[in-house]
Amino acid sequence: MKQNGEKLINNEKKNNNYNNINTVLKMFLEKLKEFPKQKALAIITILSFISFLILTLIMRSIETELKGSTGYGVMEFEFAWTPEMIREIFRAWGVAGKKKEATAIYWDFLYIPSYGLFIAGCILLVTRKLEGGKLQNFGLYITIIPIIAGGFDVIENINLLLMIENDAYIEMGSPFIASLCASIKFGLLFLGICFFIIALIILVINKIRK
């Protein structure tokens, strides 16, 4: 009886915690309908887009150089999955290649907020134009997805750097963790971009009908 009572109390606490988190999340998403102000949101989105373009060019140059000289670039490193593949990439890169990749990853830490804010800003701008209802509410949830994707990108980058700095991490699960996080990251970003395109098409169709 005592154990059953404790289980009921623990379950009730868990439910209360879940309800509290859900309430806070809904309040935050509701706030996104008005904050930041439309003008500020547009400025943030434009500035993050400019930053996104600049950093893309910087990282693209490193990627092109690595891929062209060794056959392996950033994407191959991100999706290596296994220790064997990581070692093959590192052999091809050598010390100089690993240093270049480390530089690219450090740049990527700046890239994360750039693409995160840019994509989230685009989604929120379109979502605000939707006329309430389930689609707009869904859009508010989708707005935070690029930020979540950025979190997985950070975990991915940390594991990639650990392997570059210390070979021991190659055998400690870092290849799998990095590739898994990269897969989730791209999946979430794809979902966000798909919603943006669909919502934009809906807005255009509605405007034509009017």
pLDDT number for residue 205 = 92
Domain assignment present for 57: yes
Classify residue 63 by its DSSP letter.
H
pLDDT number for residue 197 = 97
Domain assignment present for 1: no
pLDDT number for residue 1 = 58
CB 156 within 8 A of CB 186: no
pTM value? 0.88
pLDDT number for residue 131 = 78
pLDDT number for residue 78 = 97
The CA radius of gyration of the chain, in Å to the nearest whole number, is: 22
Query: Number of folded domains in the chain?
Result: 1
Task: Report residues of the chain scoring pLDDT below 50.
Answer: none
Rounded Cα distance, 79 and 198, in Å: 29
Judged by phi (left if over 0) then psi (alpha if -120 to 50, else beta), residue 67 lies in: alpha
Domain assignment present for 67: yes
Domain assignment present for 113: yes
Domain assignment present for 91: yes
Domain assignment present for 150: yes
Instruction: Supply the range of the domain harboring residue 68.
Output: 38-209
pLDDT number for residue 39 = 96
pLDDT tens profile 160-183: 999 999 999 999 999 999 999 999
Domain assignment present for 7: no
* Count of beta carbons in the 10 Å neighbourhood of residue 126: 21
Domain assignment present for 28: no
